[in-house]
Amino acid sequence: MAAGHSVDVSGWLAVFEDAVQRIAGRFTRREPRLAARAFVTGLLSQAERKTCWQLAEQAGYRQPAPLQRLLRTAVWDAERVVSDVQGLLVERLGDPQGVLIPDETGFVKKGTTSVGVQRQYTGTAGRIENSQVAVFLAYTGAGGRALLDRRLYLPEQAWCADASRRISAGVPDEINFATKPRLALDMIDAAVRAGIPAGWVAGDEVYGADPELRAGIRAHGLGYVLAIGCNGRVTVNDGRTRIRADEAAARLTARCWQRMSAGIGAKGPRDYDWAQVVIGTCGNEHLLIRRRPETGELAFYLCWSPRQVPLATLVRVAGSRWAVEECFQSAKNEAGLDHYQVRGWTGWHRFTALAMLALAILAVCATTQPAEPADPTRPARSRAPIRLTLPEIRRLLNTLTARAAPNVRHALHWSTWRRVHQARARQAHYQRRLRLPVT
């Protein structure tokens, strides 16, 4: 098929069926099995919000109870579904030189009962907000990118040390406080045990500054390219001198820099000047320095590999880190990753597992298109379409898998159901405010 002009309908439907059949065996009863299928279909739908109410109406249920039970009380293991997601991605996107990318994202919330919520900084809002924060592990390779795993961050004092909050939210007894780099390393350890094909780990300064994480990655024989701050200290001269990263950059001459691309971005090639400085004593450890040609702004990366690699390889891995940001954007916009209204530990892990499956379906569908290298020289007036994006794939896949449009009686039933439920909630709120017995 011509890129951008045709759609592999049968291929996409096969991907969807393969994905839902993989997880079908995780449910011992028919009702939650059908609910899970409806849930994933709804996550890929055009529903404005991907909550149980909206997804139940979309699926033709008379009330949201079947989908709420799926997230709360039905018997199934979300971590086994995550392993199915990983199996799908390995088969379709696996790359021996793939890159594992840990990063955190925030979910802005109201109230104090949602598991892990507190006032904390989240990059999602760009400021301190009442929010949950989770660390995800993304995977990117030659075939595409998607989310592999996730860990909910539990603040130490507000949650881990508060037994009553833990019990109320259903936090398992074995869950203790862990830093974000520790959560990242746990997921990397799990990915290696699961046989995920990868050669590298990339991450931002939160992860680059953690020596335990770096040591753990090296122990697995994976290379890394991890960002650090300009004040990060490195050893040069065969370990005899310890200086700041920006001081090492200041010692470089013009001949040390090479102009190379970190890949194609949304606005074209990402061309930077790059230099590397040997650090440590093994010869396989480097300080990678990136300079923006327009402004001279510098960025720094600690690099290690089990064997010597060319500068181009380190640049490729450094540039791949942005894949996790694209995964977050796609997961939230196309698979409803941040639309959940669950409060407990189990519900959060189940919702995110199903959202990751929905994103994996889109990522695999995207691989059915032939490669289309970006051409910056193509005239802007050209009418040739770009490759199908994940949003376009979701729209088309939704059309292919959607059930028949609900009838007017069904729509009116749901309008009445929502308003009755809201009336009860409002009445209970008023009675609490007036300190009256709740009826």
Q: How far apart are CA 232 and CA 279, in angstroms?
A: 13
* Tens of pLDDT, residues 392-422: 888 888 877 665 555 667 666 767 767 777 7
User: Between 224 and 262, where is the model more confident?
Assistant: 224
Residue 271 has pLDDT above 70, yes or no: yes
pLDDT tens, 276-285? 999 987 878 9
- 10 Å Cβ neighbour count for 425? 10
- Where does the pLDDT of residue 154 fall: very low under 50, low under 70, confident under 90, or very high at 90 and above? very high
Mean pLDDT calculated for residue range 28-53: 93
Select the more confidently predicted residue: 433 or 59. 59
Please name the residues in contact with 201: beta carbons below 8 A apart, sequence gap of 6 or more.
99, 100, 101, 102, 188, 217, 222, 223, 224, 225, 226
Q: What is the mean pLDDT of residues 235-261?
A: 91
Q: Is the pLDDT of residue 143 over 80?
A: yes
Neighbours of 245 (CB within 10 A): 24
Q: Which residue has the higher pLDDT, 423 or 292?
A: 292
pLDDT interval class at 376 (50, 70, 90): low
Residues 6+ apart with CB under 8 A from 300: 227, 228, 229, 230, 232, 245, 246, 249, 287, 288, 289, 290
- DSSP-derived secondary structure for 84-136: HHHHHHHHHH--TT-EEEEEEEEEE--SS-STT-EEEEETTTTEEEEEEEEEE
- Report the pLDDT value the prediction gives residue 422, as an integer from 0 to 100: 74
* Average pLDDT of the segment spanning 191-207: 97
Measuring CA to CA, which residue among 186, 175, 176 is closest to residue 216? 186
CA dist., res. 205 & res. 395, Å (int): 36
Question: Which pair of structure tokens corresponds to residue 316?
Answer: 């490729």
pLDDT value of position 2? 40
Residues 175-185: tens digit of each pLDDT: 999 999 999 99
Residue with tokens 């200041």: 250
Q: What residue spans define the domains of the chain? A: 224-312, 404-433
Q: Is-contact 225 205, C-beta < 8 A?
A: no
Angle of the 408-433 helix axis to the 52-59 helix axis, nearest 10: 160
Cα separation, 315 vs 167, in Å, equals 46
Per-residue pLDDT, averaged over 265-284, amounts to 84
- CA dist., res. 430 & res. 423, Å (int): 11
Q: For residue 129, is pLDDT > 70? A: yes
